[in-house]
Structure 1
Amino acid sequence: MGVLDLFGLLKRNRETEVMLDLDLFEDAASKTHLKRMAIETCIGLISRTISQSEFRVRKDKKTIKDEMYYKLNLRPNKNMSASYFWQKVVRKLIYDNDCLIIQSDTGDLLIADSFIKNEYAVMEDVFKNVIVKDYEFKRNFLMSEVIYIQYSNEKLSKLIDELFYDYGELFGRLVEFQKRKNQIRATVDIESVAGNDEEKRNKIQKFIDRTYAAIRDKVVAIIPQQKGFTYREHQKDNAVGPSVEEINKVTEGFMSQVAAALGIPIVLLKGDTKDLEKPTRNYMVFCIKPLVKKISDALNYTMVDRSDYLNGQHLEIRTPTYSEIFDLANSIDKLIASGGWNRNELRDKVGDEMVDDPKMDEYVMTKNYESIDKTGTEHEGGDTEDE
């Protein structure tokens, strides 16, 4: 119920009429939390997944643990941990469509809050007016000097705004109707007063304001009556309006649209705990892996020399696995027994370091795990007949 205002004082050799301007409708319900919830839920899930990844510098199938490894996995700069750093990178990358990471003179990796990008056809793009927190760098940065990651061609914020235009209006209306479903409605009768008396009008307005404040937040409110002032409440019986379930459906619909745009199965956002293997696999394949590829390409371009990259050195990102290694035991056993992969190769595929043991590089087959070059014959099974 809106605040009552007094207006319209007319005096032409007759009694003055005092009219009340009553706002019959509340302001539109705040709908911004619908957008914030979708963004925080979807982007939060992706950023938490990426922040659990391990960034490895690989050379000859071995991980090189140098200064680059330290900065990417533990402390990119003096003020951020690696997990928080990559969460911020992913959040900015997805929502703003791009993210710029520069390296300070001390070697720290810093995320730019704002910048200007000048694009060229045959020369390197140049980044100007790079600002990190409150500090603006006076120098310009070439593309080869920074880690610049692009997400897609369209900003997610633009897509969300377009979806929010429809869903937000519907959500706001449903919330308003739900709040007014059992709302107390009242009228105030005030007898006409004579004369153009500003003091009387102010007193009446203050009395109305106190009455509104008394009934707004209290379960039981006593309203004193005075001469010329009558307060009446009107309550509708069996008020009909949208239920809370309908509001939740609109929220889930908006969330589903944003999740689909990011490649996230909606079942992962609902908190279900049954049959998550397939949705999790789809999430890793269609959402996380493409994003990881963009980040790794940008890191390799800037942090690994061309000659080193062509000689086998590269940076790779190991995302968290969604299966326990013990769940893969039977499959690993079959892969080794078939002779298609050796044990070191499979250790590398499941995310573990290779073992410096020549026997681990041997290819074996059959359930006896015999070396292929030692058997001389294939084990086909079955009995042989004597000639």
Structure 2
Amino acid sequence: MGFLDDVLRRNSELEWMYDLELVSEKTDQLYLKNLAIQICINKIASTISQSKFEVKSDNQVTKDNLVYLLNHRANKNTNASRFWQTVIYKLIYDNEVLIIKTDDDEFLIADDFEQTEYALYEDAFKKVIVKDYEYKRTFKMGEVIYLEYANEQMSGIIDGLFEDYGDVFGRIIAHQMHANQIRATIPIKMIAGKGEESKKKVQSYLDKITDSFRNNAYAVAPLQDGMDYKEHSTSSSQSVEEINKASNGFVDKVAMALGIPKSLIYGDMADTKEAAKNYMRFCINPLVKQIKDEFNAKFFVKKEILKGDGLEIRPLSIESIFERAEAIDKLISSGAFTRNEIRVEAGKDKVDDPELDKFIMTKNYQHVDEEPLRGGENE
């Protein structure tokens, strides 16, 4: 700015005008990053928070404190839904999340921690901070729930994308605002004096005009004696679609990295069911499997897990049992499953009725070399 300073100071009026605040600050585009996070990561978090957590023991669903913590209230300050949303958000965005089980049998999510990794011993977690409280003790891996996302740190990916898309998006916005900006000139002759009081008056006048046109669709510029106001407005043929394409492109890349089909992001009606199946299969189920494996490893011994006991997680179903009625009927009528087994698979509790544990067959399924079954005749 040295050259510009020298030029302006050759004329006292130019030097005086150089101090006026005529240029507005650059618009912050951080909301583009927050938009992608809210749409993509929160969609996954909301889906998993609607899962049902069950504990099986001896092939029966039990209701114990772990079930209560995971389905209803994780701790005295957080319900289960909010707890799982926070867990998934941190897991995906930070690439890891640490959950502490307190002495009061509650689950807390660590805001910060230091991990020491070992090859032959359990990893250690030090300086564990939950809100404004720091644990003085060191936690071993077997004492905590530690989840890692099978991806690069998502925060780094989002920040990297934002550096590119944010710059492009900001330039498009700036160009659009510049092209449609109301420009005006105020002749220098209107300045009666060059003192501090005159400067304040002119600056106040400029501020009022700027605010008037910024906040109102129609505005009138008030003029005083000796003041003149001339507009030099321009218009742009650039479509708002250019802005939408830039923002959608950023969201698309984040969704792609997370395995979320674009049709689910924008609510397209074509092939929604197939997209939802892929979303559950490739995005949600791997996360659910990781959560299930970690909780089973920390709350159940090897013998129990091999026997079939442990935590079961039933994700949000994309189809109701009424939509699956025909398939359910075929599974039961073919004798492949009992009605109680179907109830369990449908996310319902078993009914204490021996009849529902029996295999039934309503169609003549048989080997091809057997004589056809006959029935209904009076012999």
Per the normalisation by structure 1, the TM-score is 0.85
Asked whether the 8 Å contact 2:96–2:148 carries over to 1, the reply is yes
Query: For residues 188-227 of structure 1, what are the structure 2 equivalents within 5 Å?
Result: 188-191=186-189, 197-218=195-216, 219-227=218-226
Note closer, same or farther for the CA distance 1:341–1:188 as it changes in structure 2 (3 Å cut). Answer: same
Match of 2:295 in 1: 299
Give distance in 1, aligned partners of 2:47 and 2:249: 24
Match of 1:89 in 2: 87
Amino acid at match of 1:324: S
Match of 2:363 in 1: 367
Match of 1:109 in 2: 107
Residue of 260, 263, 266 corresponding to 2:259: 263
Note closer, same or farther for the CA distance 1:246–1:195 as it changes in structure 2 (3 Å cut). Answer: closer
Query: Alpha carbon RMSD of aligned pairs, Å?
Result: 2.9
Match of 2:130 in 1: 132
Q: Is 1:318 paired with 2:314?
A: yes
Residue of 219, 224, 249 corresponding to 1:253: 249
Shift in Å at residue 57 of structure 1? 0.8
Give distance in 2, aligned partners of 1:185 and 1:230: 14
Give distance in 2, aligned partners of 1:333 and 1:213: 68
Shift in Å at residue 382 of structure 1? 8.2
Amino acid at match of 2:220: A
Asked whether the 8 Å contact 2:364–2:373 carries over to 1, the reply is no
Q: Is 1:98 paired with 2:99?
A: no
Match of 1:118 in 2: 116
Give distance in 1, aligned partners of 2:219 and 2:192: 34
Q: Is 1:147 paired with 2:145?
A: yes
Asked whether the 8 Å contact 1:62–1:353 carries over to 2, the reply is no
Asked whether the 8 Å contact 1:345–1:354 carries over to 2, the reply is yes
Note closer, same or farther for the CA distance 1:381–1:26 as it changes in structure 2 (3 Å cut). Answer: farther
Note closer, same or farther for the CA distance 1:351–1:174 as it changes in structure 2 (3 Å cut). Answer: same
Give distance in 2, aligned partners of 1:379 and 1:355: 37
Give distance in 1, aligned partners of 2:372 and 2:362: 9
Query: For residues 48-67 of structure 1, what are the structure 2 equivalents within 5 Å?
Result: 48-67=46-65
Amino acid at match of 1:242: Q
Q: Which secondary structure does the structure 2 equivalent of 1:269 belong to?
A: helix
Asked whether the 8 Å contact 2:46–2:85 carries over to 1, the reply is yes
Give distance in 1, aligned partners of 2:364 and 2:354: 18
Q: Is 1:338 paired with 2:337?
A: no
Q: Which secondary structure does the structure 2 equivalent of 1:117 belong to?
A: strand
* Structure 1 gap ranges (5+): none
Structure 1 residues 137-178: Cα deviation after superposition (integer angstroms, max 9, x where no partner):
111100000011111241111111111122111111111222
Give distance in 2, aligned partners of 1:344 and 1:378: 30
Amino acid at match of 1:306: K
Note closer, same or farther for the CA distance 1:247–1:222 as it changes in structure 2 (3 Å cut). Answer: closer
Note closer, same or farther for the CA distance 1:42–1:344 as it changes in structure 2 (3 Å cut). Answer: same
User: Which one is further off, 116-125 or 26-35?
Assistant: 26-35
Shift in Å at residue 29 of structure 1? 2.8
Structure 1 residues 245-266: Cα deviation after superposition (integer angstroms, max 9, x where no partner):
2211222211111111111111
Match of 1:288 in 2: 284
Shift in Å at residue 337 of structure 1? 2.6
Match of 1:76 in 2: 74
Give distance in 2, aligned partners of 1:314 and 1:62: 10
Asked whether the 8 Å contact 1:366–1:379 carries over to 2, the reply is no
Q: Which secondary structure does the structure 2 equivalent of 1:191 belong to?
A: helix
Give distance in 2, aligned partners of 1:231 and 1:195: 19
Higher helix share: 2
Note closer, same or farther for the CA distance 1:208–1:269 as it changes in structure 2 (3 Å cut). Answer: closer
Q: Which secondary structure does the structure 1 equivalent of 2:27 belong to?
A: coil
Give distance in 2, aligned partners of 1:193 and 1:320: 70
User: Which one is further off, 72-81 or 308-317?
Assistant: 308-317
Residue of 26, 37, 40 corresponding to 1:39: 37
Give distance in 1, aligned partners of 2:109 and 2:208: 52
Q: Which secondary structure does the structure 2 equivalent of 1:55 belong to?
A: strand
Asked whether the 8 Å contact 1:49–1:320 carries over to 2, the reply is yes
Shift in Å at residue 284 of structure 1? 0.6
* Structure 2 gap ranges (5+): none
Q: Percent identity over the alignment?
A: 47
Note closer, same or farther for the CA distance 1:203–1:220 as it changes in structure 2 (3 Å cut). Answer: closer
Amino acid at match of 1:311: K
Asked whether the 8 Å contact 2:115–2:125 carries over to 1, the reply is yes
Shift in Å at residue 364 of structure 1? 3.0
Give distance in 2, aligned partners of 1:215 and 1:279: 46
Note closer, same or farther for the CA distance 1:206–1:250 as it changes in structure 2 (3 Å cut). Answer: closer
